[in-house]
Structure 1
Amino acid sequence: MEAIQAKTFGGPDVLALAELPDPVPGPGKIAIDVSHAAVGSTSCSGAVNSRTFPAWRNPRSYRAEISGTVRALGPGVSGFRVGERVVSLSDGSGTGGYASIYIAPAHMVVSTEVYRLDPALVVAMVPNMVMAHVALTRVAHFEKVERLLVHGALGGLSSSFPGMARQLGASRILGTVLPNKLKAAENSHLPYDRIVDSSEFQSTLAGETFDVVIDPVGGAIRSHSLKLMRPGSRIIVAGNASGDWTHEVNSNDLWLRSMSMSGFNAAAYFATHPEVVRPALEAALKALAAGLGEIVIDRLPLGEAEAAHRRMEDRSLHGRIVLEINS
Structure 2
Amino acid sequence: MKAVHVTRFGDPTVLEAVDLPDPHPGAGQVAIDVTHAAVGLIDVFFRQGLFKDQEGLPRPPFVPGLEVAGTVRALGEGVTGLTVGEKVVTLSATGTGGYASVLVSDQALVISTEGSGIGPALAVAAVPNAAMAYLALTRVARMSAGESILVHGALGGFASAFPGIARQLGASRVVGSVRTGKLAAAAASRLPYDEIVDSAELPDALHGQAFDVVIDPVGGAVRTRSLDLLAPSGRLLLVGNASGDWGDLIDSNRLWLGGLTVSGFSAGSYIPAHMEELGPAAEAALRAVADGLADTEIDILPLADAVSAHERMETRSVGGRIVLTP
Partner of 2:220: 219
- RMSD between superposed Cα atoms in Å: 1.4
Cα shift at 1:19: 1.5
The separation in 1 between residues aligned to 2:65 and 2:277, in whole angstroms, is 16
* 1:158 maps onto 2:182 in alignment: no
Label 1:57 to 1:263 Cα distance change in 2 as closer, same or farther (>3 A). closer
Distance verdict in 2 for CA 1:266–1:126, change over 3 Å: same
After superposition, residues 136-147 of structure 1 pair within 5 angstroms as 136-147=137-148
- 1:285 is displaced (CA, Å) by 0.9
For residue 9 of structure 1, what is the amino acid of its counterpart?
F
Structure 1 letter corresponding to 2:168: Q
CA deviation map 1:252-300 (0-9, x unaligned)? 2111221111111111111211112222112111100000011111111
- Contact 2:38–2:65 at 8 Å: present in 1 too? no
Gap change, CA 1:228 and 1:290, over 3 Å in 2: same
Secondary structure, in 3 states, of the residue corresponding to 1:261? Answer: strand
Answering whether residue 220 of structure 2 is matched by residue 201 of structure 1, we say no
Q: Deviations over 1:223-251 (max 9, x none)?
A: 22122211121110112222222222121
Q: Distance in 1 between matches of 2:288 and 2:68?
A: 18
Question: Structure 2 length as normaliser, TM-score?
Answer: 0.94
Partner of 2:61: none
**Partner residue, 1:182:** 183
Whole-angstrom distance in 1 between the partners of 2:226 and 2:304: 41
- Give me the whole-angstrom Cα distance separating, in 1, the residues matched to 2:210 and 2:244: 26
Partner of 1:39: 39
Following TM superposition, by how much is the alpha carbon of 1:56 offset from its aligned partner in structure 2, in angstroms? 4.2
- Count of equivalent residues: 317
Give yes or no for contact 2:157–2:321 (8 Å, CA) kept in 1: yes
**Aligned residue for 1:234?**
235
Q: Which runs of 5+ in 2 are unaligned?
A: 59-63
User: How is 1:1-327 mapped onto 2 (pairs within 5 angstroms)?
Assistant: 1-47=1-47, 56-59=49-52, 60-61=57-58, 64-92=66-94, 96-325=97-326
**What is the DSSP-based 3-state SS (H/G/I as helix, E as strand, rest coil) of the residue aligned with 1:115?**
coil
Q: Distance in 1 between matches of 2:324 and 2:72?
A: 18
The answer for unaligned runs of 5 or more in structure 1 is 48-54
User: Whole-Å Cα distance in 2 between the matches of residues 6 and 140 of structure 1?
Assistant: 35
Moved more, 74-83 or 16-25: 16-25
Hey, what does 1:50 align to over in structure 2?
A: none
Query: d(CA) in 2 for partners of 1:272 and 1:165?
Result: 23
**How far is the alpha carbon of 1:192 from its aligned partner?**
0.4
What's the secondary structure of 2:181's corresponding residue? helix
- Contact 1:91-1:270 at 8 Å conserved across structures: no
Opposite residue 215 of structure 1, the aligned amino acid is D
Q: Is the 8 A contact 1:63 1:267 kept in 2?
A: no
